Amino acid sequence: MKKHNFSAGPCILPKEVFLKASEAVMDLDNSGLSILEISHRSPAFVDIMNEARDLAIELLGLKGQGYQALFLQGGASLQFIMSAYNLLENKAAYLDTGSWSTKAIKEARKLAEVDVVASSSDKNFNYIPKDYNIPKDIDYFHCTSNNTIFGTQIKEFPDTDAPVVCDMSSDIFSRQIDFSYFDVIYAGAQKNMGPAGTTLVVVKEEVLGKVSRDIPSMLDYKIHIGKDSMFNTPPVFAVYTSLLNLRWLKEKGGIEAIQKENENKAKLIYSEIDINPLFKGFANKPDRSTMNATFYLVDDSLKERFDKMCKEAGINGVNGHRSVGGYRASMYNALPKESVGTLVEVMDELERKA
């Protein structure tokens, strides 16, 4: 029986995507060859890569605005240093909203000065700092749109004239924002886009070529753009499966359509967290993420019972990250509302029986 999969990533993808991807492992579009054995230079794969790159740009509403999409390897973690390699000459401003931003800051500091404009580390990152100043003399401003571990999400991005770099690993393609506000967007695929193994990087070309350092080829966005994201062998299966998922999203009506579903799912879980006296939310209410809901049991002695009930209901992946504890329900695009409904029923049942 298929589980209700609330895993934070790698995570649930649509059933149609799993099916088509598994068919392609045996035979890609009746070619007599597996997606895993064709050359990445074959016309079939070049078409896959081009369509995936175009579709990513189209879904983000960035067509014809000077952006390029790349499917790279090394995870979002490589982007912490790679984005800095390409854009950081003297100084950058970073917003510190959780472990992943902290790691991005640590990497960028290897290259130049980093001004941390605000941090929510004083409250174990349970909120998004507001009212901070971004200095003018910076190469770029970096932020993390959604904090996967802590369950917070930036709802309003700050005004700045500087280029903006954003780690969107855990909420890309989940909500409509003006993506043209950003100059570099990066996201590990394994949340809202596809399986682990590739990272989407969307770059506005005009921000490149401004640093004086000699960038190693594999870290150079320009080189990857010049080679149409095929500078070296790309992660073919991860790119293909991401393409299937992007096609699924387009067919559903794109980001606007999925945003409504995501908001409904989030409403369902957060109203239960707020109404059920046995549970308490972790994140500051206005900053609550629509992707990762973090909460805990007020009385920890109920944990064993609640965990058992979840298991019996086929609920998977709701344990909180070790740095927050409690529970985390990740509700990425492909998670059906029924799965959230099942979790809410179990929470409800615990209240009735406790």
152 lines the binding site for ligand PMP (CB under 6 A): no
Q: For residues 284 and 288, what is the distance between their CA atoms, to the nearest angstrom?
A: 6
96 lines the binding site for ligand PMP (CB under 6 A): no
Segment interacting with ligand PMP, rule: CB under 6 A, options 46-54, 69-77, 130-138, 151-159: 69-77
142: Cα within 13 Å, side-chain hemisphere: 30
Among 76, 266, 269, 331, binds ligand PMP (CB under 6 A): 76
Q: For residues 293 and 281, what is the distance between their CA atoms, to the nearest angstrom?
A: 8
| 69 among annotated binding-site residues | no
Q: Which is nearer to ligand PMP, 68 or 169 (CB)?
A: 169
Does the active-site annotation cover 161?
Answer: no
120 lines the binding site for ligand PMP (CB under 6 A): no
Residue 337, classed as helix, strand or coil, is: helix
**Torsion sign (Cα): 217, 231, 239, 53:** positive
Contact 79, 201 (CB under 8 A): yes
Of the candidates 20, 96, 100, 204, the residue annotated as catalytic is 100
Among 5, 7, 126, 169, binds ligand PMP (CB under 6 A): 169
For residue 159, the minimal CB distance to ligand PMP (Å) is 23
Contact 347, 18 (CB under 8 A): no
For residue 55, the minimal CB distance to ligand PMP (Å) is 21
For residue 195, the minimal CB distance to ligand PMP (Å) is 11
306 lines the binding site for ligand PMP (CB under 6 A): no
8: Cα within 13 Å, side-chain hemisphere: 19
Of the candidates 167, 171, 183, 287, the residue annotated as catalytic is 167
For residue 348, the minimal CB distance to ligand PMP (Å) is 29
For residue 132, the minimal CB distance to ligand PMP (Å) is 20
Does the active-site annotation cover 348?
Answer: no
- Nearest 10 degrees: CA dihedral of 244, 245, 249, 250? -30
167 lines the binding site for ligand PMP (CB under 6 A): yes
10 lines the binding site for ligand PMP (CB under 6 A): no
DSSP letters spanning 63-126: TTTTEEEEEESSHHHHHHHHHHHHH-SSEEEEEE-SHHHHHHHHHHTTTSEEEEEEE-GGGTT-
Segment interacting with ligand PMP, rule: CB under 6 A, options 33-41, 125-133, 164-172, 206-214: 164-172
Does the active-site annotation cover 191?
Answer: yes
287 lines the binding site for ligand PMP (CB under 6 A): no
Q: For residues 77 and 351, what is the distance between their CA atoms, to the nearest angstrom?
A: 40
Contact 144, 100 (CB under 8 A): yes
Among 120, 126, 148, 241, binds ligand PMP (CB under 6 A): 148
- The structure tokens 């944990």 sit at 303
Q: For residues 203 and 183, what is the distance between their CA atoms, to the nearest angstrom?
A: 6
Q: Which is nearer to ligand PMP, 9 or 129 (CB)?
A: 9
Among 129, 158, 188, 235, binds ligand PMP (CB under 6 A): 188
Q: Which is nearer to ligand PMP, 67 or 80 (CB)?
A: 80
> Could you tell me the two tokens for 113?
């000065």
Q: For residues 53 and 230, what is the distance between their CA atoms, to the nearest angstrom?
A: 12
Residues that bind ligand PMP (CB under 6 A): 9, 75-77, 100, 144, 148, 167, 169-170, 188
Give the residue ranges of the annotated binding site for L-glutamate: 41
Active site residues: 100, 167, 191
